[in-house]
Amino acid sequence: MSDAPSMNGAQALAQTLLAGGIDVCFANPGTSEMHFVAALDANPRIRCVLGLAEGVVTGMADGYARMAQRPAATLLHLGPGLANGLANLHNARKARSPVVNVVGDHAGFHAGFETPLASDAEGFARPVSHWVGRAADAASVSVTAAQAIAEAQACPGRIATLLLPADAAWGEVPAAARRIVSPPAARPGAAPDAHALARAVAALRSGEPTLLFLGSPALRTGPLEAAGRLATHCGCTVANALSTARIARGAGRVPVSRLPYPPAPARAMLAGFAHVIAIGTPAPVSFFGYPGQDSVLTAPGCDVIELGYEVDAAAALDALVGATGAGAAAVAAEPHRPPALPADGPLSARLANQAVAALLPRDAIVVDEAITSIEGFLEASAGAAPHDMLRTTGGAIGIGPPLAAGAAIAAPDRKVVALQADGSAMYTLQALWTQARENLDVLTVIYANRAYRILEGELRAVGAAAPGQSARKMLSLDAPALDWVSLARGMGVEAVRADTVAGFIDGLRAGLRRRGPFLIEAII
């Protein structure tokens, strides 16, 4: 008989996660996952972070991945638990964030019964996952988990969902199968198509107005410097897609224009370009389809060159630099020019954003789910202290609070400043509790306009009738107004309310000075 210590499938999974470099698990477990909970408990190198709703769990995994540039695991309870987290998995998929979901399932012998939690977990997983696998038994857990980790780490980042039946978790791994499988090295991104690359080089050399349209993988400091050299040498313009997972901004960084959200100003911005080179993002199209409007935003006849959504964006930009001879070109960087603090008076979103930009600490992480209230911040913060900005990617609201929490866990030495709309924050309010429990260094600004303001604009944009009483009730958040100070304090987060510029600046300074979660309700 073998003298090797016994091991069940759950223990094999925990050890495989560690072998694959995954040492954080965001969790909301249930009965089917209790053996994995015990295995995590026996592996103190894995940090377990509880979220009180599955959308918080999946949103935290997204924020962690964007900053750590490697995956965390999630732990979700059967199909319904996974379904509760789908919206933020959709956002993570659009962000190209690497995530490994562990979803418990009924034991195989129990699966044939019509129990209350019986569901098609695989069916829930597929629309938000690049890869879905199931551990057949305890012996196959490590192999299947290693495959999930490898899939998640494929460039630029993928969602992998591993279904773990309860009997595969509690089952004994045969002695002959007790080797923990180490996942293979992360797969590099694909090389850009040679023909598309040649077209891009020709466009940059043409002297005609050319736009470098960059997605998230191309918006880190290194790739942006390559884009800056191309801008100097070739005279092209650099802009980023509307939904960007992470972008390096502020003093010393390459200035990047942003494609506007409304179609009309977006078309106006793109109208003058003869060529658009898209790297790490699809070609620019409108967020929604509108009556009588084309979804394509580029001008008729514009030469649109897509180097690929899953290419190695940094390598693609380096290739363009080499082919155009831009390697020695200077990089024009934003000077350090933070705005002045605004004068006292009634608070508005624009004045609040000016104050945040003025006091933003160096190397802060700014999480933006302010929706319409982001007005003025991008302009005001262009020359602020250098920072990274994480934005909504998939359009599913409720990403901001958990995204901030995940980012804070990935980068504990950096201040996280979350700019957050009040309506979308209600989707994942429970993330404040996790911020308090984990003592995460997150300053949240709630822009309390007490409405789904963006939908008021969309009602007009789609040409619907003028809003009546029923429509206004569906778009407003008053009667009763949300009390964010009480909500935050109820979750264990210190909070203040401000309706003047001076009061907001006082709250902002207090939140930046202290370490740990803090919330300002900005009445605008």
Nearest to 484 by CA among 497, 502, 473, 475: 497
pLDDT at 3: 54
Backbone angles phi, psi at 203, to 5 degrees: -65, -45
* CATH code assigned to 349-523: 3.40.50.970
Per mean pLDDT, which range of 91-105, 176-190, 491-505 is the poorest?
176-190
At residue 448, the pLDDT reads 94
Domain boundaries, the chain: 9-177, 194-324, 349-523
pLDDT above 90: percentage of residues in the chain: 83
Residue whose structure tokens are 């302010």: 370
Provide the 10 A C-beta neighbour count for residue 345.
Answer: 10
pLDDT (mean) for 189-206: 94
Distance of CA 404 to the CA centre of its chain: 9
Cβ atoms 403, 432 nearer than 8 A: no
pLDDT in tens, 352-373: 999 999 999 999 999 999 988 9
Top CATH class, 194-324: alpha beta
Q: Is 303 helix (H, G, I), strand (E, B) or coil?
A: strand
Residue 496 pLDDT > 90, yes or no?
yes
Tell the CATH topology of 9-177.
Rossmann fold (3.40.50)
Spatial separation of the C-alpha atoms in residues 40 and 164, rounded to whole Å: 15
Query: Once rounded to an integer, what is the mean pLDDT over residues 406-432?
Result: 97
DSSP 102-117: EEEE--GGGTTS--TT
pLDDT tens-place string over residues 131-170: 999 999 999 999 999 999 999 999 999 999 999 999 999 9
* C-alpha angle 385-391-395 in degrees, rounded to nearest 5: 165
How many whole angstroms from its chain centre is CA 302?
31
pTM for this entry? 0.94
pLDDT of residue 2: 45
With cut-offs at 50, 70 and 90, classify the pLDDT of residue 52: very high
Alpha-carbon gap, residue 446 to 370, rounded angstroms: 8
CA of residue 185 relative to chain centroid, distance: 24
Collapsed DSSP state (helix, strand, coil) of residue 494: strand
